[in-house]
């Protein structure tokens, strides 16, 4: 049984996010999953509009519950959340958030805490071979499954 942390904005909830969340669920092995969900204030820094926190919370919870997991979801007002002071066995990240995970472990070392094992989940690729991303979806290039959308 493990304590696992994963974080993000999760809007829209796409297949790349689902791969991250599925890996986090798998690693819990009957333990605890903590999901850090970016606050509306943090989400304002994204290059695209983001739906409100409550809607994102509900979307993530609905998906996770299909995995048979009942996580703790906490609001993130910074990129680190409780990972800089609370103990976790695994921190699940994408290539985009990997540098944040390295910084979390640096901050933990400075506080005399043990490092969290970082589990890197690679990008899920769209039909065109490029990573599925919220930005690409919001631009209308692809859908949440990576299907390239035809433009008239």
76-116 pLDDT tens trace: 999 999 999 999 999 999 999 999 999 999 999 999 999 99
What region, left, alpha or beta, does residue 137 occupy, with left being phi > 0 and alpha being psi -120 to 50 degrees?
alpha
C-beta separation of 125 from 131 below 8 A: yes
Residue 145 included in any domain:
no
Residue 89 included in any domain:
yes
C-beta separation of 77 from 90 below 8 A: no
CATH number of residue 76's parent domain: 3.40.50.620
- DSSP secondary-structure letter at 139? T
pTM: 0.94
Domain range enclosing 114 = 3-123
Q: Where are the beta strands (DSSP E) in 15-137?
A: 32-38, 72-76, 90-93, 117-120
Confidence label for 55 from pLDDT (cuts 50, 70 and 90): very high
């Amino acid at each position: 049984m493990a304590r696992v942390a994963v974080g993000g904005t999760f809007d829209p909830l796409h297949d790349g996010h689902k791969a991250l969340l599925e890996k986090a669920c798998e690693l819990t092995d009957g333990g605890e999953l903590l999901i850090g969900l970016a606050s509306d204030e943090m989400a304002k820094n994204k290059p695209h509009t983001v739906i409100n926190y409550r809607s994102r919370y509900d979307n993530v919870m609905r998906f996770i519950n299909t995995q048979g997991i009942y996580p703790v979801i906490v609001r993130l007002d910074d990129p680190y959340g409780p990972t800089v002071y609370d103990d976790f066995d695994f921190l699940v990240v994408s290539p985009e958030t990997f540098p944040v995970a390295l910084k979390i472990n640096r901050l933990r070392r400075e506080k005399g805490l043990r490092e969290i094992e970082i589990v890197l989940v690679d990008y899920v690729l769209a039909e065109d071979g490029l990573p599925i991303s919220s930005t690409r979806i919001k631009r209308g290039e692809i859908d949440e499954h990576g299907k390239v959308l035809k433009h008239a």
